[in-house]
Amino acid sequence: MTYPRCRSNYRNYQSRRVCQFILVAKKLKIKSPSLYNRISNLEDLKNKISLYGWKQLEEKMLLSIVGESGYEAIKCMAYAFYDYATENKGIFEAMLWYNKYMIEEGNQVTHNTFDILFKILRKQNLSDETINHFIRTLRVFLEGYVLLVNHQAFGHPLSIQKSFDFSLNILINGVKNMEGK
C-alpha cells in the first residue's frame, strides 16, 4: 500500500470514529462538545461502558448467591451471568471486547468476581490449579455461549436454555470428579 493511500485510509478511519462519537452524542441527546467534557474519545466511552457492565454483572452475580453455597452457588452465578448478558447485549459486547486488564479499575472489578468463585470452589476439596482451570473454562463457556445466543447463531430447534443447562451440568459434574485429586 502506498503512503498516500495509507494516509487516506487513516483519515477515513479517524472520520468514522469522529462520526461514531457524534452519533453517540445525538443518541444520548447531548451536544458533542458537552460529551467531550465527560468522555475524552470513543475508546474512553467503550472503557466506561465495559466497567459499568462488569460492575452491574458483579452485583447481579453476588445477589444471586445469597443463601447458596457450593456448586449451587456456581450455577446461580452462571444463570445471573446468562440473564444479564442476554438482557444487555450491547453492554455485554463492550464488556467482551474491551481489555479489562489494561486499567486497574477494570482488573479489580473482574478480580472480585473471580475471587468469590475461587473461595466457593476451594471448599469443594479442589486444588488451586483445578480451580483456576475451572474458572477459566466456565468463563469461556459463559462468554462464548451467550455471544452465540445474542447473535442468534444456534439454528437447531432444541431449546437454547436446555442446552445451556445441559452444558453447565457437564462442567460442574466434570469438576466434581476432580475433588480430592
Q: Is residue 37's pLDDT more than 80?
A: no
What are the C-alpha distances in Å from 14 to residues 17, 26, 27, 40?
Answer: 5, 19, 20, 14
pLDDT at 33: 63
Q: Evaluate whether 114 touches 137 at the Cβ level (below 8 Å).
A: no
Per residue in 38-67, pLDDT (tens digit) is 777 777 777 888 888 988 999 999 999 999
Per residue in 91-127, pLDDT (tens digit) is 998 888 766 556 677 677 778 888 989 999 999 999 9
Ordered by start, the domain boundaries in the chain are 1-38, 40-176
Q: Is 112 exposed, middle or buried (0-12, 13-18, 19+ CB in 10 A)?
A: middle
Q: Is residue 72's pLDDT more than 90?
A: yes
What are the φ and ψ backbone dihedral angles of 138, each rounded to 5 degrees?
-60, -45
Cell of 174: 466434570
The CATH number for 40-176, chosen from 1.10.357.10, 1.20.1420.20, 3.20.20.140, 3.40.1410.10, is 1.10.357.10
